[in-house]
Amino acid sequence: MPINKIKTITINQAGATDGQSLVWSSTNSQWQPGGGGGSYADSDVDTHLNTGTATANQVLSWNGSDYAWVADQTGSGGLANIVEDTSPQLGGDLDLLAKNIVGNGNIDINGHFHGTNIELETIEPTLQFKRLNNANVPAIKWLGQAGVEGANITFDGTNGNTNQLAFQTYDGSTLAERFRITYDGVKVTGTIEGASDAELKTSPIRIHSNTINTNTTVASSENAVSGGPVTIASGVTVTVSGDWTVV
């Protein structure tokens, strides 16, 4: 049997329309038809689902006022491209699997860099070292298999010294400087090509080439001596402001 009234409120009335339901009116203190449920048409679905702005692996997400396609943040879909991650971090070692990292840019790390074959390949290769504190002495070091330092080159430009390169080698007990390049010359500690300091001072024989192949200047404060005959190569200039004796 149909219900026509709830507490004298007429339900079967011509004013009701499809989709309406009984709603409570606090103003009239009664149940009455109203509040249509509405409908969701194909066009409403197309507005969100059938759209050309969505890309692979995106998901439909509520943005506060409507649904929109966004990148999957759950981890199940992953990134379509790594460039989508603007602050990537590694949770472990990165295995290149015999692949390469290529492109233009810089590598900025604070730690150790290990490699078995480091090659600089460009039009004008430059290996540059920059110290961030001039009070420190940077160095290039060579270590043996056991980790013992066998040789080094240091850039000595501290404590008032003009920038200099010092070469040290390990003699079996300690590192010692053997050669130093200064701003105006070189300094050798030890033996030069089989001739000791004593031999250079006492040997009666000096051997030199009989052809001068580089431009040479004898300053006014200098004396020079050569064993003749001496030939000056084509295009080479010898400038003598002091004294040059050929015997």
Return the domain boundaries, the chain: 5-39, 123-203, 206-247
The pLDDT > 70 percentage for the chain reads 75
**pLDDT confidence of 199, banded at 50, 70, 90?**
low
Q: What is the pLDDT of residues 3-61, one digit of tens each?
A: 555 555 556 666 667 666 777 777 877 777 766 555 556 666 667 676 777 788 788 88
User: pLDDT grade, residue 1 (50/70/90)?
Assistant: low
Strands (E), the chain: 5-6, 9-10, 21-25, 30-34, 58-62, 67-71, 139-143, 149-156, 164-170, 175-182, 185-188, 211-212, 216-218, 223-226, 231-232, 238-240, 243-246
Which one is predicted more confidently, 190 or 187? 187
pLDDT of 132 over the 80 cut: yes
Q: Read off the pLDDT band of 153 (50, 70, 90).
A: very high
The pLDDT tens digits of the residues spanning 49-105 come to: 767 777 887 888 877 777 778 877 665 556 667 787 888 888 898 888 988 888 888
pLDDT at position 207 over 80: no
| Centroid of chain to Cα 12 | 79
Does the model's pTM come out above 0.85? no
